[in-house]
Structure 1
Amino acid sequence: MLIHPQIDPVALQIGPVAIHWYGLTYLAAFALFMFLGKLRLRHAPFSTIEGPGAWSFRDVEDILFLGVMGVVLGGRIGYCLFYKPAYYLSHPLEVFAVWQGGMSFHGGMLGVIVAMVWYALSRKKPFWQVADFVAPCVPTGLAAGRVGNFINGELWGRLCDPDLPWGMVFRGAGDLPRHPSQVYQFLLEGILLFVLLWWYAGKAPKQGRVAAAFLFGYGVMRFIAEFFREPDAFLGLLSLGMSMGQWLCVPMIVGGALLWWWMGTRTTAKVT
């Protein structure tokens, strides 16, 4: 049995300005996106497109900017709507109190989709081409976020067998060992999903299938991880003994599988 190291969430204090580890993990996520985006430009079809539709590093920078907006706005709005709709309906001004915490990945994903639609329309690029470009660059950012969760000692796991070698006691969660679910999510949604998606994207599958693989893969990885993660105290387990996170993953899994199949039936015109 291990004890959570109780790391100070503030990485650096300069007078009244506090730099938090969680903020640094966000910066790491954005830096990883820039790095991977540059490598992604070498993959087909992005390396072969010429003319007005050609891809460049400027596209990576612009997509990142819009994606950050989508993550922050979508993540916050999604949390308010998915997890505490009645509370925020009664306290609408607290929707803007982001310093109190409360972000939803699924809401952030919807925000990123809106950002990608905007980008595709404004740059006259096929939406599914944009989505395929972005998808493999996302999991490492998710992994960075889970590192932040672990440092903060939040979003801990469910109770585990005391004999589990990596069972961990988290402050605020009692004296019994729990699954370090942040680590599980780091490995599943972050590292494993990245490796699989990057490998698949390098094979230049039909347009839209990389994005579909991300939806399906993340949905499956998160669904599995939720079995070890403590559900939100104010929600608990819902119908069929599933958490809110698992229920939100169901449409991702089904939608990703159907999208992957549908994209395989389409004939994509060659872009030059």
Structure 2
Amino acid sequence: MIMAIPFPDISPEIFSIELGSFTLALRWYALAYIVGILLGWRLAVRAVSRTDLWPANRPPMAPTAVEDLMTWIILGLLLGGRLGFVLFYQPAYYVANPLEILAIWQGGMSFHGGMLGVTAAGLLFAWRRDVPLLQMLDLLALATPAGLLLGRIANFINAELWGRPTDLPWGVIFPGPAAQSCPGIEGLCARHPSQLYEALLEGLVLGALLIVLAFRRGWLKRPGALTGIFLMGYAVSRILVELVRQADPQFITPDNPMGYVVQIGAAGLSMGQLLSLPMLAIGAGLVLAARRRP
């Protein structure tokens, strides 16, 4: 008898309202974005309100300026996340269907693309407002894990981005023919709840670490250090979880059942791992550079 956890009976929609032929719905995924941004904003405001946390006791911006920064970040997150998904994961499909690039409501967002979009928005904001760049990036690093935590939980509720088949007792029986299509397994197929693994590592553990380093250990006084820890922490978490996460279907072929984008003999790298390696290197460089400064 299979030892597994049935998927909970939770609808992806919190509520929906019928307006004639149009349906207005609030989904858990949208709520995760909204609440994550609000939590990150409040944490950033709290950080810049503490002058003792920053070099020379001078925060990079006033608390009121954080609201303006969040507007830029939201735009960078949405544009970068969507374009990253289009370019990294399904470029051929969207070249053939360019009008669907803007159809964000159909799903499809990339964290690595979102991070690049946020970075670009942050660079432009820092240049226009004369804000120290590394200190602003540290502030964004501190604010990000809350959104990652809630976003991954929303992925679980949506029954998407699940892991590979497993016989571990905490495997989850995700619904749908795609999740239940497991070669060599008869009956119900349990899979790793890889979304919850990422929520724990990228959101809870990494977020708690950054808060302790910022508010208890004085790491905001070394510009770039907190950003480096975030990049390294996310990269390591993502690389580890990708070991048990199901690859995107466009990468899976009969000759490449694991969905590697870079194959090295019988092993290889997934797209998530490949995109995380530069983050790991850049993060390590930022931490080393920051620790060498007086």
- TM-score normalised according to structure 2 size: 0.85
**Structure 2 CA distance, aligned partners of 1:37 and 1:247?**
30
**Structure 1 CA distance, aligned partners of 2:137 and 2:293?**
16
Aligned partner of 2:272: which letter? G
Equivalent residue, structure 2, for 1:270? none
Identity %, equivalent residues: 43
What count of residue pairs does the alignment treat as equivalent?
262
SS in 1 for 2:57: coil
SS in 1 for 2:248: coil
Equivalent residue, structure 1, for 2:276? 249
Equivalent residue, structure 1, for 2:64? 58
| Contact 2:7/2:172 (8 A) holds in 1 | yes
| Contact 2:40/2:142 (8 A) holds in 1 | no
1:215 Cα deviation from its structure 2 partner: 0.8
Q: Which moved more, 1:103-112 or 1:239-248?
A: 239-248
**Structure 2 CA distance, aligned partners of 1:124 and 1:234?**
43
Correspondence for 1:167 among 165, 168, 171: 171
Unaligned runs of 5+ in 1: 268-272
| Contact 1:3/1:168 (8 A) holds in 2 | yes
| Contact 2:173/2:189 (8 A) holds in 1 | yes
Correspondence for 1:7 among 5, 10, 20: 10
1:46 Cα deviation from its structure 2 partner: 7.4
Equivalent residue, structure 2, for 1:99? 105
| Residues 113-168 of structure 1: per-residue CA shift (max 9 Å, x gap) | 0111011111101110100111111101100101110111111111112xx22111
| Contact 2:60/2:135 (8 A) holds in 1 | no
**Structure 2 CA distance, aligned partners of 1:48 and 1:265?**
20
Equivalent residue, structure 1, for 2:161? 155
Equivalent residue, structure 1, for 2:77? 71
| Contact 2:43/2:143 (8 A) holds in 1 | yes
Correspondence for 1:184 among 178, 197, 211: 197
Equivalent residue, structure 2, for 1:82? 88
Q: What is the RMSD computed on CA atoms of the aligned residues? A: 1.7
| Residues 55-113 of structure 1: per-residue CA shift (max 9 Å, x gap) | 32212211211111111000000111111122222222221121221110000000000
Aligned partner of 1:190: which letter? G
Equivalent residue, structure 2, for 1:208? 224
Aligned partner of 1:129: which letter? Q
1:37 Cα deviation from its structure 2 partner: 1.5
SS in 1 for 2:37: helix
Unaligned runs of 5+ in 2: 181-187, 252-258
**Structure 2 CA distance, aligned partners of 1:58 and 1:160?**
49
| Contact 2:239/2:273 (8 A) holds in 1 | yes
1:5 Cα deviation from its structure 2 partner: 1.4
Q: Is 1:32 matched with 2:39?
A: yes
**Structure 2 CA distance, aligned partners of 1:66 and 1:19?**
24
| Contact 1:146/1:182 (8 A) holds in 2 | yes
Q: Which moved more, 1:186-195 or 1:239-248?
A: 239-248
